[in-house]
Amino acid sequence: MFRSPIQHCRQCGAPVVYRLPDDGDTKPRAVCTACATVHYENPLNVVGTVPVWGEDGAEVLLCLRNIEPRRGKWTLPAGFMELGETTAEGAQRETIEEAGASIELGPLFTLMNVARVGQVHMYYRARLLNDHFDPGVETIEARLFTEDQIPWDEIAFRTVRETLERYFADRRQGLFGFHSIDIA
């Protein structure tokens, strides 16, 4: 299982059982034993940015995590996409919440499937409008790093590492692409 299995119906509170629904669906779902409501569970989107500063985006903003998982490791600003926002709006919101950074959002840069945990991660390129940061409670420190300064052994998540690697590789080539990556 990816998450805690559903125990009770969100509509009526009765217990559910995991079984094939009666509508021809081929996957077991949590089906209510009282009202027969079928409960679907689907992947979640995580959205964030690669906020850059300096000549040709030589420096990238990373946040030192103040929350689990991976407290004390460095990450790009990112978090779960919320209802009512677009992927771009969510990426911008997380950058403000976690780093207190002012950015101009650019195009989508990476889309990474992490099927093992049922997540899709999307990072947008972003240009920092100034180098004043005001990190929120989820962040111990927000700091700019050149490629040589990136703490590669202290990066919180594989998705962040993959995105940073491609950012600096594309920057060296002088051409930024869009990268679709599967994380095993």
Which of 55, 69, 84, 153 binds a copy of itself (CB under 8 A)? It is: 84
Other residues' Cβ atoms within 10 Å of the Cβ of residue 3:
9
Residue (89 or 165) nearer to a copy of itself, CB? 89
Q: What is the dihedral of CA 66, 69, 74, 78, to 10 degrees?
A: -90
By CB under 8 A, the residues from 95 to 134 that bind a copy of itself are 107-108, 111, 113, 115, 118, 120
The answer to the question of residue 140 lying near a copy of itself (CB under 8 A) is no
Q: How far is the CB of 81 from a copy of itself (least distance, A)?
A: 5
Which of 82, 104, 141, 154 binds a copy of itself (CB under 8 A)? It is: 82
For 21-27, which contacts have Cβ atoms below 8 Å and span 24 or more sequence positions?
A: none
The answer to the question of residue 156 lying near a copy of itself (CB under 8 A) is no
Size of the site for a copy of itself (CB under 8 A): 42
The answer to the question of residue 66 lying near a copy of itself (CB under 8 A) is no
CB 95, CB 77: distance < 8 Å: yes
Q: How far is the CB of 70 from a copy of itself (least distance, A)?
A: 18
CB 102, CB 129: distance < 8 Å: yes
Residues that bind a copy of itself (CB under 8 A): 2, 4, 6-15, 24, 27, 39-45, 80-89, 107-108, 111, 113, 115, 118, 120, 137, 178, 180, 182
